[in-house]
Amino acid sequence: MDRQAHCILPKAKCIQTTVLVVRRMFCLLALTLCNLGLAGTPSSVEHANRIVVSATQALTNDWAADPLFACIERDEVQKGGKTTSKAFEVLMIDGSDYRFPLASDDQPLAPSRRKVELVRLREEVQRRRNQSPAARRSRIDTWKRQRAETGELLL
């Protein structure tokens, strides 16, 4: 599955997955250059190390701030030579994410389907508000566990 994130909020307020990936690739490139001896002098190695530390810190900060923002996620699946896609607005609702459908195969949802999805969203908000503390804690813990697994792969 190929995931691409496209921001729906002003750039200053949206954390994009692509930014995280680019920063990670930059860190790996800097490490590779150091390992290949292309860094040369000790001062160049120190400079490269500072770049790697700085980029890693920026990536970690972006990852930590990610739950504070909404974004659009586009998932693609290739099966039998055919590519299908779905787009979602990923929102945080009461401590965990909710994927609101926006499009299928690059076609916006029909107005009738969009109304159905808006009703589902309202119902989900209400359901989460009325959850018992134990159910809420379980839902949030599950989300945090999945997010931690993703973070281990990314960071």
- For residue 16, is pLDDT > 70? no
| pTM of structure | 0.64
Distance CA 109, CA 57 (A): 39
Instruction: Say if residue 27's pLDDT is above 80.
Output: no
Answer positive or negative: Cα dihedral of 103, 104, 107, 112.
negative
85: pLDDT strictly greater than 70: yes
DSSP-assigned letters across all residues of 55-100: HHHHHHHHHHHGGG--EEEEEEEEETTEEEEEEEEEEEETTEEEEE
What's the rounded Cα separation, in Å, for the pair 148 and 155? 10
Q: Per residue in 41-62, pLDDT tens?
A: 667 778 878 888 888 888 888 8
- Which residues pair with residue 2 across a beta bridge? 76
